[in-house]
Structure 1
């Protein structure tokens, strides 16, 4: 179980390998089985910056508050809390198994490299209030453009520092919100209400079903463990740094989310208001009721908005590297355009990512149900992708991995990968259920339909176009 020396046996690890700027990597050939260790001495991103990127994409201290509406009717605070603990543990095991594979085969495509499927997950905040939807959409567009600007080449040198600082900012903002809530919120919920009293108004008759439907907070807070893999070519030693970031980010999100969730649940002054919160955001409603102060609510709300904006930086930088890397395999239409870089930055992929993100966000102008279906379907596709990865890991055993990988789970590697397969199947199943009965067109969970549609389209695209193109990395 002790980490082994960091080496790289990935398919692209050969002496002619080039980085994003077309420069050869600094390669050191080891004595054991001709392993090649990739060292990028000019790495623009370092461990703390990568950790900040991976952490801020989900930012559990903030994102966990987006699901507080589930505390009303879907089992109450106890199921919300225990469901997160349960789901979080499963996600940590999945992350550990994935980190071992990433340690052996670090690549910007991440799981898409390992199974040769391209699945893109885009996370977009949902907005709903009494004001016009297009008002929120304009703000959303502004956030997207801001994320694009800070990712351009001129800002590249400060991005590492900015992402490192985001760790301090987001956790510091969470600390401010939590301390002020504990001081101001009155009356607070009792320990019995938070940890014992179960309330089921969902329409589902089985308490077990209701409990398992509370997987969403855990999946949202710990569902992007592979984001660091997409930065493999910009880290100094990807065989070591990628798994460290994956595990560190998952643990940090999980451990920070637990006390955050407990304090939030104790400080819900008006539970019924969570069903129709201010601006459609349960966390803002909790702050408004708990603080009973417009000034404090505005300050805390501003900190949260800035936290989400930083998260958009991290999400775009990771997504652009995924899209750019897959474009190098000619896996997408117009790959010749999106595979190009400017000063080592995939600007074309960044622009395309911004346009697509804005387009997906525009769906909310027509139907929030359709937007939820698209985002949910993306999450399911990501789960399918990992199932394929872990299936090959179980089938091939240790033969598929570098014996000198930095993270070596030894005899536990295959069982943990087997668990990860079952865990993904389990979470995909429950994430496809509607939360409340009876089901209507607006309350139906259409995620599975979207996921099946993506799989079908991808299959035909592969048959008609992609299989005729070289799948070798340049």
Structure 2
């Protein structure tokens, strides 16, 4: 596949509406449009991995123990509240994706909808915050798989003594698997996503059967009303507030599908559908699995003290009371986490590729390179792999530092959501309900409903962001302190310093120059939009 003869083929085209949108946004079609709404939903659901993450995050969520902070009842009700909040975020972003269906996502939207005076600098900051979020996620998703592999080995061999360097090597091995899929097998990914999605749903059913048939269930009253403050906050409310980080990390990533917009056919129509279906599928699967898990979790303290290092594996063992079935079930989880890591790398590479295309990163021309034969941003994929490998080394020095990097990355994504939705709210009321389109976009909330949804989304996002800055327990040490606030501030400062150096080369959302023959005048743009909406 890497040895090519003859002239490079043209990228797989989209629809006439895709061509119209790309020309209107000033972008050249370089990637293959090989995703459909169904394969993109599969992609997003596998990336979200909510039902396996519900098993892991309910007991260990980037340092925040959901069952410790809130107890069984807290885990359930906080998850539901988080899903309600994230639903308004996804709906808000689906509207933005319908108006501007571009791989750039948040930074592009800010560049279009922010007040003209602040568009360039705000867009640049959002691009960096989003890059921070997704690049940290590359290592984080691989690390989760590595931890499960380590737990798998412990179940298979009770004499195994886990070491930090084992996790590092396993994480890097997973990242190598990821980069192979995202380069050599890139053209086959949509089909693979469809198959994995079906297996993912079957795995969900298998785990439900195991928990409800083989596990010892707690009384419903205890599950739904037993709130706990085991970390010592002195208040159930505070404990539940701190535990918000767990479900947020489980359901975050509303923009994952957006960064494949230029690889989806009929993106302006299909992308909002994919985003909404993907989100609500994830929320439902995650909630049902969390419910099943909490019913059979048993003694929380004993589960957290498991020798496997992974409390969810101990719960599986308690339910099956057998080594063989436990190994098989953990193997299923590991298999899915491998493809979660593949998809996170895909999204992360597309995001930095788009940002580099608009001149937002150092060495942008190199990062922006797209293989004329594969039609993928090869250098961006390799850079995401390299950054992931570097972050994967952090646990050698401090596991707490690695967990902080993941929390900081989530803070970056939440901040990017806040800024792009705020800009849309401003633009909706100050300039146009339809964004920069002449007619109503295919997915439009309107003025009143849009304002309500956007305001709710912003309120929830601010709550999520603040909750994510709390430490796991009161009176933290330097090791256990949550450094999200400091790191986000440092990221903004670094972005501003780089903006001073690179700002002249950053042109925001319309950096790419189209050939003269492909440029669209204002009258032609209106005509194209009318034809597209009449179709």
Q: Secondary structure at the match of 1:226?
A: coil
CA positional deviation for 1:466: 2.6
The corresponding residue for 2:224 is 195
Cα contact 1:383–1:428 (8 A) shared by 2: yes
Equivalent in 505, 511, 532 of residue 473 of structure 1:
511
Matched, 1:221 2:250: yes
CA distance in 2, matches of 1:13, 1:299: 50
What residue in structure 2 maps to residue 24 of structure 1?
none
- Report whether the alignment pairs 1:462 with 2:452: no
Contact 1:185 1:269 in 2 (8 A): no
Instruction: Please list, as runs of the form range in 1=range in 2, the aligned pairs for 1:279-428 lying within 5 A after superposition.
Output: 279-342=308-371, 343-397=374-428, 398=433, 400-402=435-437, 403-410=439-446, 411-428=448-465
2:92 touches 2:454 (CA, 8 Å); kept in 1? Answer: yes
Distance apart, 1:16 and its partner CA: 7.1
Q: Quote the RMSD (CA, aligned, Å).
A: 2.2
**Distance in 2 (alpha carbons) for counterparts of 1:16 and 1:353:** 26
**Aligned to 1:88, which of 63, 83, 86?**
83
State the Cα distance separating 1:15 from its structure 2 match: 9.4
- Per the alignment, do residues 15 and 243 of structure 1 end up closer, same or farther by CA in structure 2, a change over 3 Å counting? closer
The 5-angstrom pairing of residues 24-423 of structure 1 reads: 43-69=33-59, 70-115=65-110, 116=123, 117-118=126-127, 119-120=130-131, 121=133, 122-123=136-137, 124=140, 125-126=143-144, 127=147, 130-152=161-183, 154-186=184-216, 188-342=217-371, 343-397=374-428, 398=433, 400-402=435-437, 403-410=439-446, 411-423=448-460
CA shift for structure 1 position 51: 1.0
Shift of the alpha carbon at 1:7? 5.9
Contact kept in structure 2, 1:72 and 1:272, CA below 8 Å: no
The separation in 2 between residues aligned to 1:268 and 1:348, in whole angstroms, is: 44
The CA distance in 1 between the partners of 2:320 and 2:186, in whole Å, is 39
Instruction: Output the CA distance in 2 between the equivalents of 1:439 and 1:216.
Output: 17
- String of CA shifts for 1:373-409, please: whole Å, max 9, x gaps: 1111111111111211111111111153533211111
449-458 or 301-310: bigger deviation: 449-458
Number of equivalent positions: 448
- For residues 414 and 58 of structure 2, the distance between their equivalents in structure 1, rounded to whole angstroms, comes to 24
Once the two structures are TM-superposed, the CA of residue 468 in structure 1 deviates from its matched residue by 4.0
Listed as ranges, the gaps of 5+ residues in structure 1 are 1-5, 22-41
| Structure 1 residues 469 and 263, CA gap change in structure 2 (3 angstroms) | closer
Q: 1:210 to 1:7 in 2, by over 3 A?
A: farther
- 1:359 aligned counterpart, secondary structure: helix
In structure 2, distance between residues paired with 1:131 and 1:405:
54
Listed one character per residue, the Cα deviations across residues 156-182 of structure 1 (whole Å, up to 9, x for unaligned) are 332111112222112211211221222
SS across alignment from 1:405: coil
> Would the alpha carbon gap of residues 300 and 421 (structure 1) be closer, same or farther in structure 2, given more than 3 Å must change?
same
The whole-number CA distance in structure 1 between the counterparts of 2:198 and 2:282 is: 13
Give the TM-score, by structure 1 length: 0.89
Q: Which residue of 2 aligns with 1:35?
A: none
Residue-by-residue CA offset, 1:31-62 (whole Å, 9 max, x unaligned): xxxxxxxxxxx621111221111111121010
After superposition, give the CA deviation of every residue in 1:209-233 in whole Å (9 maximum; x if it has no partner): 1222221232122211111111111
**Structure 2 counterpart SS, 1:465:** helix
Question: Following the alignment from structure 1 to structure 2, what is the Cα–Cα distance between the partners of residues 215 and 439?
Answer: 18
